[in-house]
Structure formats: structure tokens, C-alpha cells
Structure 1
């Protein structure tokens, strides 16, 4: 297998028979830090961010990393140092941004279920904007802001009813989704927001889904949002910024999503044609910044032949890599060291006591017990959704920067997991 055959991961390549991330041999990293182990490439993250930055060159634009994709502190730190803001969906994520060096003015707060305590904390640290997702949320946020003697900056997330052509679980912009305010109700909601004493209307927001690999949904959504901008401003409500969300897909198994810079050149052309090219823009990419920057190393525990299937049992499981179990998602799986063992077809599975604990089906692999595999494209929605099911400790994480390897999260053990629990008297 050549380096070019590793999907979407230019920093992951073979040198001879050994798999490297940047200038680091992964077999050495696995032996030093153990497995399962997440490995992230700093160069890959910055390269992905660079595509967006080039696309917005010369524009008033703020890139806010959608940190639900991967909220590890070192990952946040990389983006904070590169000038990114952050899109959060919980109070816990807010605290992570602050711990990683972000500031309140760098934060946009999205999500359909913000609590009063979360609102209060966000107002206290001076966040940039709340993306409000319902008319009832407007009322509560105004009341909380008044209690603090503040006015909350708000943008309404509108649901444009555009099909993003992605998995239904990660589609967010259709009428049947829980997110946002219906397109037909948006002007009325803006009028109410402008009336409320604890609010200051500053923008409009739209997000239609995740792992989108076509340009057309973005172009359709932009038209729908700009129609609303025109209607809202005709109603006498000025909008300082337009937020087009995120959702751009990555290459998991041969998908060919548009380059972020190329996508935004086309979107900006449309924006210019409609007279909004000089407006302050916000976007919230997540997966496209980190997905192909990470992989998960796992050790092969057993090879188990069966009547209908052969199983390759590894020490990573659905609690570490939940996307296959949740979405039937595909991750490429490759050997860390290529050998001359005859290949066979396996279902790659983990130790968790669930039939849904599979990482890859019908994979042709040349492996033996004790060797390492790399599960690719694991930088997004893996560690951030990891769990302790079966009292399994969450994996360790390392970040590679050239030839340097930084341990950025220690492996959990059972004592750490039980730290907050109490036995009965």
C-alpha cells in the first residue's frame, strides 16, 4: 500500500513497511504509550484550517471551531493559537475553551437546550453571541440577562428546510429536525427578540448538518438565509453578522468533498451578487478541521475463525470509536507494520459485550496477534463521544508535531472512573 492510498490523510504515510504520522513512527508510539491510543497531527489540523483561511482572504470573517467534534484541550489550544473562535454547545465546553486559552469574546454558544446556569456563566464571561434556537429560549435568556444587568447578544438559528444529503442522524436543517426556528416563523421571532429588554440582536445563523460532501446544499441554504436577512432588515432589525455554520465532510472511504477554500469562493461569489459581500461572516467548521488529522492505534488481541465470519479482535472498542455502532460509519483500517503474512478477510471487532461492537466489516488484512492496526479518520466524534461502558477507561491521546510526540491526555484507570462515586453506609 502506498502513502497515496491512505484516504484523506497526507500526514499519514508509509516509509518502507512502517506507518508514520508526520515524522513519527507509529509502532514506537504504540509501544511507549500503549493502546488504544489516539494520535493527532498538528500539521494536518493547521492545513485544514488553512484552506478556510485562504477562502476568506480579504473578507471580514471569523472561523469558530465547532468543538463538539473533538474537545481535547490540546486540540483547542492549537486552534486558539491559530486565531480561531469556538462554537460551543454546553457549559462544560465553555470551561474547556477557557482552560485552553480562549476568551469569552471568542465563543459562540449554540444548542437547543441551554440552561439558566449555562446562560448566566456565558454572560458573566462576556461571550460573543448566543445562537438561539427557539422563541421560548429568547424569553428565558432575556430574563437571565436582566437579572445580571446585561443585554445578551443573540443570533437566531433558522432552519432553512434544506436537505444536506447526509446521514439522518447528522442532518439538522430539515423541517423534521429539532434544531433552529422554522424559516416561516423567523421574522416574527426576530421582532420578539428586538422587543425583549435583555437581548441585543446581532446576527442570523444557519447550520444544515454534518459530513456534507456536495456544494449544492450550501448554495441552497445561503439563498434561503439571505432571503431572510432581507426580510428581517426590512422589518427594521439590523443584522451585524451572518453565520453559515459548518458541516463540510471529509474523506472516509473515497468521498470527494469540495476543498474548503473552493467552496467558500463559490459561496462568496453568490454573497457578493446579492450585495452582502462586505458583511461580517461567521462559520463553524468541526469535522473538516480534525477528522482526518487523527487516528486510533489498537493492538490485535486474537484472530477468531468462524463458520460465517472471521474476527479480528482488537483492544479498541465501540466505547473508543462509537461512529460505526451509531451510524454504521466507515473507517479505513491499516496495519502499522506491513508484513508478509497472507491476508484474510475479517470483521474487526472490540472486547465490549455487545454485538454492535464492531469497527470495520469485511476488511482484508494481513495481521497476527500482537501487531498494531491504525483506524484512520478518527479525529472527529470519537474521543469526544467516548464512554466508560464496561468500565473501560478512555484512551490516552498524543499530539504529533513534526518529530515530537506530546502526551496530551493520560489513560483513564478504574480508580479515576470511580473517583466521584460513594458506597452506601
Structure 2
């Protein structure tokens, strides 16, 4: 009798096989697809909460005060933000739209860090009006603009200067943010000069130094390199009279997509806090902004196989999810594990998993060994971060539904978009 060999799903708590059936917590992937259709993003509540708690535990293990701020850009669904707000987390945002989401989900404005290189005057005014914790400023021009907006609003803006430490995090160039060739942050020399200028402005108050070196980083060393440069700058500024209340280390800790072995939150945070303490800065608040490592492995994208197609050189599995639903493979050549919702015995073929979008870049996985039939349900793992949040309506395709699993309960947290919704705000010519 043949034994069915099931793929291991390391790094995906609460998402695994029971027998030959894929389950998210206590709900089968097939049951979710039957109720809500495909393509659909599915998240495990327990996975999100446990990932957040691991950061909380790592923070509590140190004498240094750590402020936890979730990076909203990773997954901004209101239900996800609500879970984290209830756990006491604050938020890292990059737009007024994200700020409004945080407030709608029950987040506190006073625990929001406003990052991003292109804040408009309207963005700044709204953030000032609701009372965000801090603006991470990325250029002299932005600082001057923020001072003008704050003056007109009769408010004082708390700011941190985001420094570009010119550290190579060894990640994909599209998600690298800490090199001098990137658009993000201020150089070390310029930051020191800007700190002195800040002291001359009446409507801004310098309270912190921030840095963020990229995303999907799987070693601690680049963070330590960046941290040393940041601490050098803090030391230099304080010798000149500045008062730095907090040091913002950003986020970017990676997850396991295929065979990566990233550090745990404890393994990541502990050496950073130890370095801060050893250099005499342990009385400062340390801000961290994880995103992907909270939600990434908590989610899957369910997609149905429409057709199996073979050419003389390739086998294709055409599925109903496309690059508009999950752009990471097309944008970054990213690899994510693909598994069957119901495994079967048989001879596997190597398939390229492709979608219905009219682009050659519309692929979700390449050369995956699967035993497939038309109509089979697939799950693309590690889809909780930078999945739905980056989805588009290209080819007039409605974005997928989103579902949260809590034990044996599946809750629709965003319905699938209809074609009519896509053009409802458009107008015909007279």
C-alpha cells in the first residue's frame, strides 16, 4: 500500500494537514472555498495573535522600554488592525488613508508613527489634528513643510529624523531601503545638520532618530551595523544639546517562504537591545515596526485550477488567481510554497502556476511538482503580508474576498469585489 507523502509546512502555525486535508485552524481549506469562492485570502487569527505575542514577550524580557508599532502596509484589513489594537499595539503608517484605517479599527492616534517620503500637506494636517505620536521626517523639505502646516494649525509636531545608514541588508533591491542609492532617509551628515536646524523651528520638536533598512531580512548583523551608526548619530546630536527620547529601529524581519531560517523576535530583538544598553542608551524608548513577521505566515491564498495545459517544453496549471491578486512573484520573482487542499497519490508533474491576466508576467509559481487535476484547489502559503494589500483591478478583475479563521469559525472580513463596484464611480460622456 502506498503512503501519501505530505509536504511539511514549517513556519506556518495553525496551517497544516490533517490526514490529506489542508486545514487553517479547525476549518478545511475546501470548506472555505466552497462557502466563499476563489480566489480568497484566508488568515488564521491564532497565528497573528501568537506572532504579536512573541514580540511582546521579547520586549518584556528586557529592561529597555520597547514600543510595538505594527507596519500597516503589510496587511491593512480592519479586522487585522483590530486584533493588534486589542493587544495594545500601536501602528506605523505611510499615508493618511492608513491612518484612517487605524482609527476605524480602534487604534489610538497617540500610538501612531507616520513614516513615508511623500506626505502631503493635507496628510500632515490630518495627522496633526488627530494627534499622532510622531512624524518620521525624511528630508529637509519635508521638515520645512511640516513646520509650515503645524504653524497654520497652531500645533507642535513631534518628529524623528529618519536616517539612511547606507547598510546593505542583502535583500531584493525593490525592498531595500537603507542604501544611499535608495530614496529613503537622510544621510548621517545631513541628519546632524538637520537636527540643528530643527532646534530653530518653532512648530516642530525633535524627539527621535529612526532608521529602516529594508524588508525580508533574515539575519541580525545588518541591523547591528545600522544601529551602531544610529547610536553614533544620537551621541553626536546630544553632545550638541538635542534631546532624543526614542530610537526607532524599524521592522523588516523576514519569514520563511521556502527554506529561509530567520531569527525569532527574541533572537532579533535581544542583541539589539543589549547593544543599546551596552552603549549607554538603555534609558531611551526603542520603537520597532514589524509587519510581515506578524501576518505573513498567518495567511494563504486559495485558488482553483481552471485548466491544465501542456506544450512541448512546459506544463501549465491555469488558476483563477492572477498577478493582480498576488503580485509578489511578478514584481520580485518571489517564491511561495504551493500545496493542494486535498492531497492525492499519483505521479507528479512540474507545473508553472499561471493566472488568467493578459501578461506573460502573470505567474504565481514555477516548476512545482504536483499531482494535479482540473478543478483542484490550491493554497499559496505565506500570503498574509503584501498580498491583498498590493492587489489591483487590472483587467477589470475584482479583488479577492478575505476571510478570518478563529478556531472552527470562518468570518468574511471583506467581500469579493464585483465588476459593477469597479466602475460605479465612473461617468459616461454626455
Q: 1: CA distance between counterparts of 2:315 and 2:52?
A: 40
Deviations 1:215-243 (Å, cap 9, x if unpaired)? 10011011110000100111101011110
Q: Please report how far the alpha carbon of residue 279 of structure 1 lies from its aligned counterpart in structure 2 after TM superposition.
A: 1.1
Find the residue that maps to 2:85 and give its secondary structure: helix
Q: Please report how far the alpha carbon of residue 341 of structure 1 lies from its aligned counterpart in structure 2 after TM superposition.
A: 3.7
The correspondence for 1:81, drawn from 80, 86, 97, is: 86
Partner of 2:35: 32
Q: Please report how far the alpha carbon of residue 330 of structure 1 lies from its aligned counterpart in structure 2 after TM superposition.
A: 0.2
Task: Give the RMSD, CA atoms, in angstroms.
Answer: 1.1
Output aligned runs, 1:22-421, within 5 Å: 22-57=25-60, 58-421=63-426
Q: 2: CA distance between counterparts of 1:27 and 1:158?
A: 47
Partner of 2:20: 17
Q: Please report how far the alpha carbon of residue 4 of structure 1 lies from its aligned counterpart in structure 2 after TM superposition.
A: 7.4
**How many positions carry a matched residue from both structures?**
425
Q: Any conservation in 2 of the 1:109–1:129 contact (CA below 8 Å)?
A: yes
Q: Any conservation in 2 of the 1:4–1:13 contact (CA below 8 Å)?
A: no
Q: TM-score, normalised by structure 2?
A: 0.97
Q: Any conservation in 2 of the 1:318–1:358 contact (CA below 8 Å)?
A: yes
- Tell me, which stretches of 5 or more residues in structure 1 are unaligned? none
Q: Any conservation in 2 of the 1:2–1:14 contact (CA below 8 Å)?
A: no
Q: Please report how far the alpha carbon of residue 410 of structure 1 lies from its aligned counterpart in structure 2 after TM superposition.
A: 0.3
Runs of 4+ in 1 over 2 A off after TM superposition: 1-4
Q: Does 1:422 align with 2:414?
A: no
Deviations 1:241-274 (Å, cap 9, x if unpaired)? 1100000000001100111111111111111110
Q: Any conservation in 1 of the 2:93–2:99 contact (CA below 8 Å)?
A: yes
Q: Any conservation in 1 of the 2:51–2:294 contact (CA below 8 Å)?
A: yes
Q: 2: CA distance between counterparts of 1:17 and 1:388?
A: 34
Find the residue that maps to 2:194 and give its secondary structure: helix
Q: 2: CA distance between counterparts of 1:176 and 1:212?
A: 18
Q: TM-score, normalised by structure 1?
A: 0.98
Deviations 1:186-218 (Å, cap 9, x if unpaired)? 110111112111101111101000000011001
Q: Any conservation in 2 of the 1:349–1:358 contact (CA below 8 Å)?
A: yes
Q: Please report how far the alpha carbon of residue 59 of structure 1 lies from its aligned counterpart in structure 2 after TM superposition.
A: 3.4
Q: 2: CA distance between counterparts of 1:234 and 1:213?
A: 34
Q: Any conservation in 1 of the 2:64–2:273 contact (CA below 8 Å)?
A: no
Q: Please report how far the alpha carbon of residue 287 of structure 1 lies from its aligned counterpart in structure 2 after TM superposition.
A: 0.6
Q: 1: CA distance between counterparts of 2:264 and 2:139?
A: 33
Q: 2: CA distance between counterparts of 1:17 and 1:43?
A: 22
